[in-house]
């Protein structure tokens, strides 16, 4: 371990200790360390449906609406802040209390919340070529110059894991941010990855599902920048 770990290293160390996978329907939390490395999605979800991962799922608005809309897609929301993990659980609980769980369609049996660091989870637990889509909405922009090194898209291990784990048969990466300068940087960094290429459309089929940050920024009149990347086989 380095003597003076930087901010992301500290997060990494803390989250690897308490990391958990939470089943939304049963609220059962299991320590991440109890899962095999890598995780076998089919055994994990009990079905062979495609897997989509939201990184930095915040208060869980996208996760809830998308997983309800697509019951035959398995979703994982990765969030490292405990406060947001708790708020996401509350959001789902309220929804389930109000609308019930539709046992027939299996509503929310397709969702797991990973309270952990995304870089740790991707590099260690996500099998190669196993993710049909990543959703990264409003990643922390770390606007101060001295903090920009914390940006997730600056992390080479993260970029490698993202590329490795996307399905080579057109796995997709959906990105949105209000932060123009970071948006440009993300595009520059992704253009350096030979296995990812930008898709002409900037539309996600679920673009109408606004995240919490998006709702806030749209109200403030900020412009939202989006891009979509696709994984190619070679
Ligand atoms: C600006 S918020 C956006 C939240 C949500 N996507 C939205 O649009 O409402 C960024 C979120 O990413 C989470 N986050 C940042 N880095 C992360 C990492 N390495 N692993 C997991 N979550 C992370 C933060 O805790 C925060 O909740």
pLDDT per residue as tens digits for the range 114-136: 999 999 999 999 999 999 999 99
Ligand 1 centre from 136 Cα, in Å?
8
Instruction: Give the C-alpha separation, 57 to 78, whole Å.
Output: 6
Mean of the per-residue pLDDT values for the chain?
92
Decide which of 3.40.50.720, 3.40.190.80, 3.40.1350.10, 3.40.50.150 is the CATH code for 7-231. Answer: 3.40.50.150
Instruction: Tell me if 213 CB under 6 Å of ligand 1.
Output: yes
Instruction: Tell me if 102 CB under 6 Å of ligand 1.
Output: no
Is 208 an annotated catalytic residue? no
List of residues 6+ apart from 145 with CB closer than 8 A: none
Residues 36-78: tens digit of each pLDDT: 999 999 999 999 999 999 999 999 999 999 999 999 999 999 9
In this prediction, residues 181-210 reach a mean pLDDT of: 91
Ligand 1 centre from 137 Cα, in Å?
8
Count Cβ atoms within 10 A of the Cβ of residue 32 and give its class: 0-12 exposed, 13-18 middle, 19 or more buried. Answer: buried
Confidence at 145, pLDDT banded by 50, 70, 90:
very high
Instruction: Tell me if 92 CB under 6 Å of ligand 1.
Output: no
Percent above pLDDT 90 for the chain? 81
Catalytic residue of the set 6, 102, 140, 157? 140
pLDDT at 104 > cutoff 80: no
Lowest mean pLDDT segment, chosen from 30-44, 63-77, 153-167, 192-206 = 192-206
For residue 2, the model assigns a pLDDT of 44
For residue 205, the model assigns a pLDDT of 83
């Amino acid at each position: 371990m380095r003597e003076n770990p930087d901010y992301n290293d500290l997060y990494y160390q803390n989250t690897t200790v308490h990391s958990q996978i939470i089943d939304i329907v049963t609220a059962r939390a299991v320590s991440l360390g109890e899962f095999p490395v890598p995780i076998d999605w089919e055994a994990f979800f009990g079905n062979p449906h495609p897997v989509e991962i939201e990184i930095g799922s915040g208060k869980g608005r996208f996760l809830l609406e998308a997983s309800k809309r697509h019951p035959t897609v398995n979703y994982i929301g990765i969030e490292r802040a405990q406060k947001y993990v708790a708020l996401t659980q509350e959001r789902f609980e309220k929804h389930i209390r109000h609308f019930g769980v539709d046992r027939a369609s299996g509503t929310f049996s397709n969702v797991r919340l990973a309270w952990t660091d995304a870089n740790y989870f991707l590099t260690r637990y996500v099998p190669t070529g196993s993710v049909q889509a990543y959703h990264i909405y409003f990643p922390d922009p770390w606007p101060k110059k001295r903090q920009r090194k914390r940006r997730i898209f600056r992390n080479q291990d993260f970029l490698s894991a993202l590329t490795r784990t996307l399905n080579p048969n057109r796995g997709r990466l959906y990105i949105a941010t209000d932060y123009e300068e970071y948006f440009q940087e993300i595009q520059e960094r992704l253009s350096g990855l030979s296995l990812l290429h930008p898709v002409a459309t900037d539309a996600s089929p679920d673009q109408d599902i606004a995240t919490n940050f998006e709702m806030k920024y749209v109200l403030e009149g900020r412009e939202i920048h989006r891009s979509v990347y696709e994984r190619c086989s070679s």
